[in-house]
Structure 1
């Protein structure tokens, strides 16, 4: 009979069972905590209850999620962060036994770092690195690397490759077991500085950003739990796709939003032309809005006379004007300056009181600041500004816009900025998404926007300068992780240079890192898509891939009248494989393809809906494909996808995005000729 002592796999399974039992005990201890007499009031009690509930949730033992995925055997005993020993199992969270001895070490702990960084050239005192293979939650295999053995040959980890290629069904999963050294360097970068990651398709930039949040919350939890963290994605489908990654890593409190969510001060009911949207998103608009906010400030022409009892105190107009000008020169926020003005006027009155022999105190100054004459003067000189009303006036009043945009926007550009048919009232205004960003800018000019501790901004290449400013306000005193790919920019204002984008974000000092080694997209597919790079992003390095999948790419030309049926047939073939299938097409092709799939009895989902074993096909409009990934992609009619965009370069960038969504295989079905670059 084989015993654990004879079989390393049985030994590891026994350790896994012991760790799972310990995790259940940790959860039971958290559930059994009695806090009835701990807090002094109900508010503190509610907060503590919430914290304990989060703790209990984070200690859940997910049956299909491996509790540990690796092991490190050090050559010498360590004492890192209280962990003493030479052997450590590395997993998604820390697990200890009843005596407090660790059974699993959190992947973010310093002692775990060599699991990702150790090499034969620099083993970091690691003698053996062991990777584990799982089928569901069952430990089925292991693989050892003897980093200090000169006779052992260098080889690619089969288990690592299998984990990368594992079929994708359901939302995005974490990559904690497969993080590569260049990714780990970004993940573990400190919170003091911001990082921008230029990542080609399949390089894992989104996963790197999410794991960086998890790492920062582990290493700097007290600070970030107070200030908050936020993940910003391009759309709701994308956020739904990534929403399970951080909870799987034990982080439940990170909020997610789109840029539109951040600036949702009015209901969006209108759309802009590309020209108007580009002009509204231009950085020049920040100066226009600043002028507009301050345009209502009027220099006084009359003195301010304050009556207190039988005495009258007179502040000459020129002295009031000096106070106003000083506040303008200090470049304070409009609201803060408006609050400071009555105090300045009150101080001028107190100076006169003291000269006359009186001895006023702070209470007198506060009373003078509230005096009706002072309040009336402030109202006249420095009127209140409503952000929505101000932007409404700017977009509907040609004379007002011309005055604020003088020297910044031409008359023709101003014509594009204004509403074609100005609404009669605020209620009837058809605000666009770009308009809400302008309102957000005005709100910040009046009163400072609160800052979070860390913000992750994904698919950042599609933001306008004004949108960058809106995001930057949310992390003005914190840090940011900016993720994107210049080759995938598909908006009229898409970022052409990361340094310029970081300037608008308010993080010009951020380090720009480039990831070019792909792990998701097969080599044959990325090479095919990269034929477009000389046109869409000539300055970028071509991505490489560690994966070479035979038969990963197939291009089929069919007759135009058979296109819909051929695309549906390609989907049926893809469904014969394991994993998810995405049918990506130009937006105006979606109704016809939906009908073809229904006619072929192929049920499908919409982006954002969770795939399952019974529903693995998703019909994806090309405009929503960015950031998503599928095991197999069927791409319908590239020419239609390119032609749907306002210019060829943007269309080719959209095509590049669609071509690089595949993890295992790509089938291109077309009737019209392919773009020239793909046929070269």
Structure 2
């Protein structure tokens, strides 16, 4: 595979590619200037439309920004024939530059094709066995934003050797500084198949460390917004991550691809109907997260329904009295209860249903009532009183509060579902006297969200990406599933990295709780970020934490650096600081990962050594390239160099050994270039 580095001859192909890059950047500036010059003062009828249009124009201007240091295009395809034209017609081929967004010249002719366009797909999928009518695939290399090299693959030339692209390999292994980058230049065929999967189906991606599952999920959102923009603009898209640090780490990927409207949140953000001020024991949290709680809540919400009123309904209109007997009212209420429609919808519909029954009586007596009469009857005080008696309004938070504070109420709702011990475990030790004094836990907030949905349907989005999904409880899956009940989802995770007491046992089970049992499950096993030596070391833990899972196979040419150092207990802090200084002497980012309990001591040691450090998710800079990471927040993050402090402390910091080993597996697999492990206590047996 021929490569071509920098050459100063003006007639050199590299110079022509640079010229095209300069022309493309000029065209992009012109496109942005055209949008900035739009005058909308006379094209809208009112200020509301004007504001909406101005917002759309502002978003378009931002999307057309030429980001410094971000290559406008990264590849070129030379087709043997014009795309879409039968080969037998002998049409001349065309060349297309593949980039992060579409750019056209003043005449409307494309200068750069969006990577999501169908014509760009062979850039990711064409092979020598299946060239897809591509004669030449060219990759470009950049240094500091300047085009400095290119590399050609002649897919139809049998004389050319089939070798790995050096530019592709160097891009994959490039030092990682700052937040997560897009991977449009390095998407692999198996990843591209997931990225371009249709919008109507849900896809679940099982991927070990470094397989690119998070990037695949984000690029799938970008692709769906390109292919179904109008639909998703109407219904909305959402990316759900495990914590704020993770969301900060990935927040620049979609804007770099020109997508600015995608919202990001954690599961806690979705269910923030009450203020979380309390905590649960691991046992209580596991029970509250169990799928059985959905039925407990359903019973609690519907516990106030009285199928048979105490007396008949009498409605006075003018000089006449209209009467519905108890048995007929019981039939109406029973029908509403048996239909299992949402509690609030039934509460709102019941007055109209009763009024309709009275209107039937009126019609039989010779009257001709219309809809206005039915509405008036539905608002009658006697009808309102009966509805309040038989189908009283429900406050979701108050219902959950009562469930967790009143043993008798919980016992009735949980009968046959939760054991007596389980009921005791989830009851609050100090029952709250009201909503204002309630110390809700994170698991309680999910229960309130479930109760709210039982009363009133939760709005659904067009597409939801759920990352690090293996850590969700069944009730959390239900909360996410409500947000995409009429849309689709991309579920991303790794069963081996589940570190919660309720961690997912299987994707089939998780997808059932999510409400997407028909989702297709894809597995990514080729690693592109974690070096071979590092992933092989971490994979020693797999038999203990995920026996049925295949280990990740790293495709990186460099095995990476792995060093395990044993030091004396009283010298551990100093050894960790020394290892950090060694990593900082090299280009790239450094993550110091330690058990949560060790963070204060290490923070003090870094301060004493004069080493500036960041919190997880904060962007690295020339002044601070080291991030101090509690092991509980390491998931999803990556650093060029990782210094891992005392593995035994990470394992011991969890409620059980298996969870601790999974937390350690996560921590071991955050390194992109090198991993240094320092320990004073013996390493876990699985690692030795």
Alignment TM class, shorter chain as reference: over 0.9
Within the alignment, does 1:63 sit opposite 2:72 as a pair? no
Contact residue 79 and residue 85 of structure 1 kept, 8 A: no
Out of 633, 639, 658, which is 1:649 matched to?
658
Match of 1:8 in 2: 13
Match of 1:382 in 2: 391
Within the alignment, does 1:18 sit opposite 2:23 as a pair? yes
Partners of 2:70 and 2:622 lie apart in 1 by: 17
Q: CA deviation digits over 1:222-275, x for unaligned, max 9?
A: 000000000000000000000000000000000000000000001100000000
Match of 1:458 in 2: 467
Match of 1:225 in 2: 233
Match of 1:110 in 2: 118
Out of 252, 256, 265, which is 2:260 matched to?
252
Match of 2:174 in 1: 166
Match of 2:4 in 1: none
Out of 370, 381, 403, which is 1:372 matched to?
381
Q: How many equivalent pairs are there? A: 676
Partners of 1:138 and 1:426 lie apart in 2 by: 60
CA separation of 1:316 and 1:40: change in aligned 2, threshold 3 A: same
| Deviation for aligned residue 1:549 | 2.8
| Deviation for aligned residue 1:635 | 0.3
Contact residue 77 and residue 95 of structure 2 kept, 8 A: yes
Partners of 2:366 and 2:80 lie apart in 1 by: 83
Computed over aligned residues only, the root mean square deviation of the Cα atoms, in angstroms, reads 1.2
Partners of 1:285 and 1:620 lie apart in 2 by: 34
| Deviation for aligned residue 1:105 | 0.2
Within the alignment, does 1:145 sit opposite 2:150 as a pair? no
Contact residue 534 and residue 560 of structure 2 kept, 8 A: no
| Deviation for aligned residue 1:612 | 1.1
Match of 2:507 in 1: 498
Contact residue 231 and residue 457 of structure 1 kept, 8 A: yes
Q: CA deviation digits over 1:150-176, x for unaligned, max 9?
A: 010011111011111111111100000
Q: CA deviation digits over 1:406-455, x for unaligned, max 9?
A: 00000000000100111222211110000000000010001000000000
Q: CA deviation digits over 1:523-547, x for unaligned, max 9?
A: 1000000000001001111110011
Partners of 1:3 and 1:490 lie apart in 2 by: 55
Partners of 1:94 and 1:106 lie apart in 2 by: 5
Within the alignment, does 1:76 sit opposite 2:81 as a pair? yes
Contact residue 531 and residue 559 of structure 2 kept, 8 A: no
Match of 2:3 in 1: none
Out of 360, 373, 377, which is 1:351 matched to?
360
Within the alignment, does 1:272 sit opposite 2:280 as a pair? yes
SS class of match (1:184): helix
Which stretch shows the higher mean deviation, 154-163 or 105-114?
154-163
* Structure 1 outlier segments of 4+, above 3 Å: 2-5
Partners of 1:295 and 1:511 lie apart in 2 by: 38
Partners of 1:136 and 1:107 lie apart in 2 by: 22
Match of 2:479 in 1: 470
Partners of 1:650 and 1:138 lie apart in 2 by: 46
Partners of 2:284 and 2:560 lie apart in 1 by: 45
Match of 2:48 in 1: 43
What's the TM-score, normalizing by structure 1? Answer: 0.98
| Deviation for aligned residue 1:550 | 4.8
Contact residue 464 and residue 495 of structure 1 kept, 8 A: yes
Residues 180-259 of structure 1 aligned to structure 2 (within 5 Å): 180-259=188-267
Partners of 1:94 and 1:548 lie apart in 2 by: 33
CA separation of 1:478 and 1:84: change in aligned 2, threshold 3 A: farther
| Deviation for aligned residue 1:638 | 0.1
CA separation of 1:3 and 1:643: change in aligned 2, threshold 3 A: closer
Contact residue 78 and residue 93 of structure 2 kept, 8 A: no
Contact residue 133 and residue 139 of structure 1 kept, 8 A: yes
SS class of match (1:166): coil
Match of 1:31 in 2: 36
SS class of match (1:499): helix
SS class of match (1:427): helix
Contact residue 81 and residue 92 of structure 2 kept, 8 A: no
Partners of 1:8 and 1:647 lie apart in 2 by: 61
Match of 1:415 in 2: 424
Partners of 2:93 and 2:429 lie apart in 1 by: 72
| Deviation for aligned residue 1:79 | 4.8
Partners of 1:392 and 1:468 lie apart in 2 by: 22
Q: CA deviation digits over 1:614-644, x for unaligned, max 9?
A: 2100000000000000000000000000001
Contact residue 98 and residue 114 of structure 2 kept, 8 A: yes
Partners of 2:492 and 2:538 lie apart in 1 by: 20
| Deviation for aligned residue 1:85 | 5.6
Out of 319, 332, 342, which is 1:323 matched to?
332
| Deviation for aligned residue 1:507 | 0.4
Within the alignment, does 1:671 sit opposite 2:680 as a pair? yes
Contact residue 466 and residue 492 of structure 2 kept, 8 A: yes
Out of 415, 428, 433, which is 1:424 matched to?
433
Match of 1:433 in 2: 442
SS class of match (2:558): coil
Partners of 2:409 and 2:682 lie apart in 1 by: 50
Match of 1:133 in 2: 141
CA separation of 1:669 and 1:336: change in aligned 2, threshold 3 A: same
Q: CA deviation digits over 1:307-348, x for unaligned, max 9?
A: 000100110011101101101111100011111111111011
Match of 2:59 in 1: 54
Partners of 2:8 and 2:686 lie apart in 1 by: 61
| Deviation for aligned residue 1:6 | 2.7
Q: CA deviation digits over 1:254-305, x for unaligned, max 9?
A: 0000000000001100000000000000000000000001000112121010
Contact residue 612 and residue 623 of structure 2 kept, 8 A: no
Contact residue 313 and residue 326 of structure 2 kept, 8 A: yes
Partners of 1:574 and 1:228 lie apart in 2 by: 42
Within the alignment, does 1:282 sit opposite 2:290 as a pair? yes
Match of 2:88 in 1: none
Match of 2:575 in 1: 566
Gaps of 5+ in 1: none
